Amino acid sequence: MNNLIENTISFVKEKLEGAEAGHDWFHIERVWKLSKKIAETEKCNTEIVELSALLHDIADPKFHNGDETIALTVSREFLESQHAEEDTIEQVLFIIKNISFKNRGEAPENLPVELKIVQDADRIDAIGAIGIARTFNFGGFKNNLMYDPNIEPKLEMSKEEYKKSNGTTINHFYEKLLLLKDLMNTEKGKKIAEERHDFMLLFLDQFYKEWNVD
């Protein structure tokens, strides 16, 4: 591991100390490890992949009044302090800016493979058992209803509608989580996502059985 990666790990750990449990250092660590795993199957710049994975949630807009510029500023200042090359900084910032699910309609075509890898890793951590745990943790953090049979999921939301949405936690499965499997970029990402997707379907089936007590 090179010094820049080591220093980035230390920086992110310190920066995210006390963060909401679904977006803390452990989330970053999982995405970083998944990114490295996927990168083994792709021809890519592994340093860009690792740096982007480590910095992708350094200032998640959800916790900064929707401001998407803070993460870019914080990441640039850190990388400049580490004397990273400008080309490296630009590539990392591009990934941070375009990785989000809510920004998928704004992303340019022909995305670099490094973004595809980190995006897959981030989305994989949003599904499966970990994804379920993170979703309910964040729903509790926002004091959202767990489920209400009378509230329908909102499909095809605009970016602004998605950012302002305070629907139920179960509806979030239909509004985002169950869509992620078909948005994977890499073959490795698709394979991992398939298993986790199936687990979420089993969970939802069991959830409804327990909710609808006769």
Task: Tell me the two tokens of residue 81.
Answer: 């302090």
Alpha-carbon gap, residue 9 to 14, rounded angstroms: 9
Give the per-residue pLDDT at 68.
79
Give the per-residue pLDDT at 183.
94
Asked if residue 130 lies in contact with residue 26, where contact means CB atoms within 8 angstroms, the answer is no
Full pLDDT tens readout for the chain, 214 residues: 689 999 999 999 999 998 777 789 999 999 999 999 999 999 999 999 999 999 999 877 676 566 778 889 999 999 999 999 999 999 999 999 999 887 666 667 789 999 999 999 999 999 999 999 999 999 998 899 999 999 999 887 665 665 566 689 999 999 999 999 999 999 999 999 999 999 999 999 999 999 998 7
DSSP calls for 46-57: HHHHHHHHHHTT
- Cα torsion 213, 174, 191, 59: sign: negative
Indicate the domain borders of the chain. 3-211
On whether the 3-211 domain is CATH 1.10.540.10, my answer is: no
Give burial (CB, 10 Å; 0-12/13-18/19+) of 127. buried
Q: Read off the pTM.
A: 0.90
Asked if residue 189 lies in contact with residue 169, where contact means CB atoms within 8 angstroms, the answer is no
